[in-house]
Structure 1
Amino acid sequence: MKRPKPSGQADRDTEDFLSKYLKELNADNAAVFVGAGLSKAAGYVDWPGLLSEVAQTLGLDASKETDLVALAQYHLNSNATNRHQLSQLLIDEFSDLKAPTENHEILARLPIRTFWTTNYDRLIEKALEAGGKRVDTKYTQEHLATTRRGRDAVVYKMHGDIEHPDKAILSKDDYERYHQTHGPFTTALSGDLVEKTFLFLGFSFTDPNLDFIMSRIRATFTNHQRQHYCIARRRARFKGEKEAEYQYALTKQNLVTQDLMRFNIKTIFVDDFPQITTLLKTLEDRYRRRTVFISGSAADYGSWGQGATEEFVAKLSRALIEKDLRITSGFGVGIGGAVVTGAVQQIYSTRQRSVDEQLVLRPFPIGIKDPDERQKTFTRYRVELIAQAGIAVFVMGNKKVGASIVTADGMRSEFELAKERGLFLVPVGASGSMSAELWNEVTKDFDRFFPSAPPKVRKLLEGLGEPTDKPETLLGPLLDLINVLTSGT
């Protein structure tokens, strides 16, 4: 259950980031700023790579230059301000349709609605669209004045888009005129940096625009700036690099890190780039654990009886909402109504919560006559519901076919989909029917379903299969198990 973590101060910094950024995700206050480093991992060039050819024509080496904006300006100066070659470079390097990286895909799955980037490519948009989200992309002042209906995320491309290379921000001239040509972007980013908690990824913090904006915010809010984070690779010693050169680079990185704290940007260091993906996966995993998928259906309530079963499910739903967890469910026959009753009662007990935020229901459209189309729709419903969750609870699971009561194959489908997506699977075996079958399957192969789980997880899960005519006796152990799975301890 636990992912390996670094030790010492790095461990504390990482846990602090995961805990606080997770809270911002849950509060819909999280944003991301993506730099060239994330696109380079997908196969695109970074700024030194983009301008290497330009540097050669000037008799310079792009890898030795620190002010690449000036390098682009030198090119314009020597070509009578003709930027055709720069525009062509953008077309040549960014027109190829690269696939988003795993990091892009994780970010797209998280509940982040605000993305900022200095990149010209469309990797962010592609990842969001592949995840079924409607994207509102903005890279001109005119775009800022319009809003895409029903948008799920906004991508602000403050330096332009590959589709319009002639308008991309590249040179000193472009940066110096930015407040005139892109003034509303400056205003919009300033507002987001004040109101949202940003995670900076693949960003070097050498961009003059961002430095100017952050400086203005610092001057205005002084000691009341919002906390932001960036994930960066700790400087490693290159092969053949002298010790003195390495120590110099390390000192410079530490000084830059300290300087970012002026803007309340805390750096989370990793030793290699794959650790960034591991960190984002951990963040996603913890976020998904805050949502519980309830799978259940009942045409026959067995020894529990309808009243006791519905009360059990309603109390479970109330308790989950009280713990500030979300619930997703397909409104299974005989069970879904109790989920709604318990959840809504608890949500309405406080004015600070809304049904839409904490309860996601998808009644299955049983009126579809074509069996193939019905099955296709049902599967999509299940995937969308389960993909949001980190824990799946299974209760009963039977249906009536003709005059007979049979186990629900729909619950089996939901179990398999949840297993494929890495959810913690919690069948309430004592409720019988398909849940009993799934409980037997999980407990017999416990270590595969719950790798590295503490002993109390096995004990609590096994207790959910002990026969009882009073389902309320299972509520305490079930909630204890969900608490353990949610906390990850």
Structure 2
Amino acid sequence: MKKPKASSQVDRDTQDFLSKYLKEVKENNAAVFVGAGLSKSAGYVDWSGLLSEVAKGLGLDANRETDLVALAQYHLNSNATNRHHLTQLLIDEFSDLKDPTENHQILARLPVQTFWTTNYDRLIEKALEAGGKRVDAKYTKEQLATTRRGRDAVVYKMHGDIEQPDKAILSKDDYEKYHQTHGPFTTALSGDLVEKTFLFLGFSFTDPNLDFIMSRIRATFTNHQRQHYCIARKRSRNKGEKEAEFQYAKIKQDLVTQDLMRFNIKTIFVDEFSEITVLLKTLEDRYRRRTVFISGSAADYGTWGQAATEDFVAKLSRALIDKDLRITSGFGLGIGGAVVTGAVQQIYSTRQRSVDEQLVLRPFPIGITDTTERQETFTRYRVELIAQAGIAVFIMGNKTVGGSIVTADGMRSEFELAKKSGLYLIPVGASNSMAGDLWNEVMSDFDKCYPGASSSVKKLMSKLGEPTDKPETLLRPLLDLIQNLASGE
């Protein structure tokens, strides 16, 4: 994403949103509310599309109606409250299992544990499950009283699910009885809106239930409401639209935006829907940059020696934790122990941190004898570790084969996976072995590895390749480079 101009209020708002919402994500205080707009891009109909046939039967045009809940009620009124047709519409439109969009996939990769939606489809659940997460979906009040063991995310479907189309919230009757039929959802959402920072996506804010809940929170907390955000497309002139109609719609959007501020919901505008994906990608990228993957192995410590190497790695790990960064590592031979030593020492030096939150270690299961199974397991291990990070550091990288010291092919695999995943690659060239080879590759193709990077980044990377017998001298340029990349916007 191009860096916004400081003079633009919209751009300042965008940067402020990215910074503050990222902080909430890191502290497990973030939630996402998904509306029909996100499902429409996957190929599902929105409310207007769902009720278009119903509107025609009433002599109306769904595209001209703003109160679609009333439209569904009109249909029921004219059919002696027979709901069969509306239920069949839901089955026809939402039974096909469409694939989640890129937006769904990005949201699923973020460490967000709370999702709310008014949609009936399964796109959120499908995206989360594809990402290896265990989902606890709740669309009946009875389900709120149970908890799926080992869940990674909860998806609250306040208007129901396609599995029970006859119980979906659609009409005025349904909304008026909501406090009786779905009262616990109101309580649960109220609690989350008070305790978590929400990001609203694809949501029009015309839902009576949410408006009622937000109003109660505003009345209770007045000027102490939690900050929330929504991303919306700025109204542009449609093809063939008259100037007066466009200006009217623009004024209406401005007024709705101002009204949302009563509930402390700040609107972040984009010019095109595709920019929502760019924003989410930027959010994910910045989150991942707070995690550093350390790849390293050493059967031979070369001129550095074992003691100096382990001291260097331990001090590096300790400094990363001190800077509130997270570490992932595969516990490489001769290097992994020093990573643990430095990281745990720093984590335990303060009561505000925990090992589980800031250190992820995956010792490789070397006992697997079947060559194919071993390779598949190792690759999966590496993919899962690297997927969590945004920066990869490579140190040494050698092993013993047949009594001889050779470069570690495992580090080469990790380098290629990290490169494919878009991580910033930082081989400590002065440590030699495979890391030395990788440093030469990065420097020879620096502009491709670091497109648009400042001269200071290249200078710091160059220092990491300067020969030295004292690895401690590399700590400062290495940490400066990591901090530069982790905090860059």
Q: Shorter chain as normaliser: what TM range?
A: over 0.9
The alpha carbon displacement at 1:240 in A equals: 1.5
Please name the residue that 1:20 is paired with.
20
Please name the residue that 1:404 is paired with.
404
Q: Is the 8 A contact 2:314 2:343 kept in 1?
A: yes
Correspondence 1:79 to 2:89: no
Alignment partners' CA distance in 2, 1:35 and 1:336: 45
The alpha carbon displacement at 1:487 in A equals: 1.4
Alignment partners' CA distance in 1, 2:315 and 2:357: 19
Listed as ranges, the gaps of 5+ residues in structure 1 are: none
Correspondence 1:68 to 2:74: no
Alignment partners' CA distance in 2, 1:304 and 1:272: 54
Q: Deviations 1:288-318 (Å, cap 9, x if unpaired)?
A: 0000000000000000000000000000000
Alignment partners' CA distance in 1, 2:8 and 2:160: 41
SS at match of 1:294: strand
The alpha carbon displacement at 1:239 in A equals: 1.2
In structure 2, give the amino acid aligned to 1:318.
R
Q: Deviations 1:243-272 (Å, cap 9, x if unpaired)?
A: 111111100000000000000000000000
Please name the residue that 2:137 is paired with.
137
SS at match of 1:199: strand
In structure 1, give the amino acid aligned to 2:201.
L
The alpha carbon displacement at 1:5 in A equals: 3.1
Alignment partners' CA distance in 1, 2:133 and 2:93: 27
Alignment partners' CA distance in 2, 1:417 and 1:230: 34
What TM-score results when the alignment is normalised by the length of structure 2?
0.99
Q: Is the 8 A contact 2:128 2:134 kept in 1?
A: yes
Please name the residue that 1:89 is paired with.
89
Q: Is the 8 A contact 2:300 2:398 kept in 1?
A: yes
Q: Is the 8 A contact 2:297 2:333 kept in 1?
A: yes
Alignment partners' CA distance in 2, 1:256 and 1:36: 18
Alignment partners' CA distance in 1, 2:72 and 2:4: 42
SS at match of 2:224: coil
Please name the residue that 2:482 is paired with.
482
Alignment partners' CA distance in 1, 2:79 and 2:246: 38
Please name the residue that 1:336 is paired with.
336
Alignment partners' CA distance in 2, 1:242 and 1:57: 29
In structure 2, give the amino acid aligned to 1:427.
P
Please name the residue that 1:385 is paired with.
385
Counterparts of 1:2-13 in structure 2 under 5 Å? 3-5=2-4, 8-13=8-13
Please name the residue that 2:235 is paired with.
235
SS at match of 1:239: coil
SS at match of 1:77: helix
Correspondence 1:453 to 2:453: yes
SS at match of 2:198: strand
Counterparts of 1:468-479 in structure 2 under 5 Å? 468-479=468-479
Please name the residue that 1:357 is paired with.
357
Alignment partners' CA distance in 2, 1:183 and 1:377: 47
Please name the residue that 2:185 is paired with.
185
In structure 1, give the amino acid aligned to 2:424.
F
Please name the residue that 2:436 is paired with.
436
Q: Is the 8 A contact 2:4 2:12 kept in 1?
A: no
Number of equivalences: 488
SS at match of 2:474: helix
Please name the residue that 1:221 is paired with.
221
Q: Deviations 1:419-453 (Å, cap 9, x if unpaired)?
A: 00000000000001000000000000000000000
Q: Deviations 1:359-398 (Å, cap 9, x if unpaired)?
A: 0000000011111111111111100000000000000000
The alpha carbon displacement at 1:4 in A equals: 4.0
Alignment partners' CA distance in 1, 2:482 and 2:126: 35
Alignment partners' CA distance in 2, 1:39 and 1:414: 35
Across the aligned residues of Structure 1 and Structure 2, the Cα RMSD in angstroms comes to: 0.7
The alpha carbon displacement at 1:402 in A equals: 1.7
SS at match of 2:345: helix
In structure 1, give the amino acid aligned to 2:481.
L
Alignment partners' CA distance in 1, 2:260 and 2:439: 51
What TM-score results when the alignment is normalised by the length of structure 1?
0.99
Counterparts of 1:357-376 in structure 2 under 5 Å? 357-376=357-376
Counterparts of 1:46-61 in structure 2 under 5 Å? 46-61=46-61
The alpha carbon displacement at 1:483 in A equals: 1.0
Correspondence 1:110 to 2:135: no
Please name the residue that 2:301 is paired with.
301
Alignment partners' CA distance in 2, 1:149 and 1:371: 34
SS at match of 2:295: strand
Counterparts of 1:156-167 in structure 2 under 5 Å? 156-167=156-167
Q: Is the 8 A contact 2:218 2:263 kept in 1?
A: yes
The alpha carbon displacement at 1:346 in A equals: 0.1
Alignment partners' CA distance in 2, 1:292 and 1:22: 17
Counterparts of 1:283-322 in structure 2 under 5 Å? 283-322=283-322
In structure 2, give the amino acid aligned to 1:203.
F
The alpha carbon displacement at 1:3 in A equals: 3.0
